[in-house]
Structure 1
Amino acid sequence: MQSWPVQDAKARFSEFLEKCLTDGPQMVTRRGAEAAVLVAADEWRRLQAQARPTLKELLLSDEARADIPVPARGVVKSRRPPVLR
């Protein structure tokens, strides 16, 4: 993976993009530290699909994916069922 300082990536964006499409992901650095990666759209979609769990994995998981708010139970007066004849 080639590394590009942010100034070079901005100044030569067309070349930066072309390198991404032909050679693979390209790293962008800011003040010498890794800041971002330019990835081709097809590769991004593949990575996104790979990171998403399947429905089967979600259903078999021991962890809850979200908290479901359950309202507190109030005092409810009971009713007598109707008499059936």
Structure 2
Amino acid sequence: MAVWSVQEAKNRFSAVVEAARKEAQTVTKHGRPAVVVVEASEYERLKRLEKEKAPSFTELLLAMPTQDDPPPFDGLDFKPREVEF
């Protein structure tokens, strides 16, 4: 995967786009990876994969604990301080 600085990517944006059609291109800012430029079809493929793995709203609701389920953690054992008003 090719690496471009932000400045270099700005100056040669057409080259970044052309290179991204072949393989992902990393753009760095202050020497650290900031973004990855990928071909549109690869982006769509990744979005489809993400959507396929994501639980549906119904699955999330059904996964919520009910009153019959044991609590997920023990309560904290402390006494609140007294406050004067």
TM-score per shorter chain, which class? 0.5 to 0.7
The structural deviation recorded for 1:40 is 0.6
Q: TM-score, normalised by structure 2?
A: 0.63
> Which residue is 2:15 aligned to?
15
The structural deviation recorded for 1:60 is 5.3
Q: After TM superposition, which residue ranges in structure 1, 4 or more long, deviate above 2 angstroms? A: 57-64
Post-superposition Cα deviations, 1:49-77, rounded to whole Å, max 9, x if no partner, equal 011037xx53556535xxxxxxxxxxxxx
CA–CA separation in structure 2 for the residues paired with 1:42 and 1:10: 23
Tell me the number of residue pairs that the alignment of Structure 1 and Structure 2 aligns: 62
Q: TM-score, normalised by structure 1?
A: 0.63
CA–CA separation in structure 1 for the residues paired with 2:63 and 2:2: 39
> Which residue is 2:28 aligned to?
29
Structure 1: tracts of 5 or more residues without a match: 65-85
Structure 2: tracts of 5 or more residues without a match: 65-85
> Which residue is 1:63 aligned to?
63
The structural deviation recorded for 1:43 is 0.2
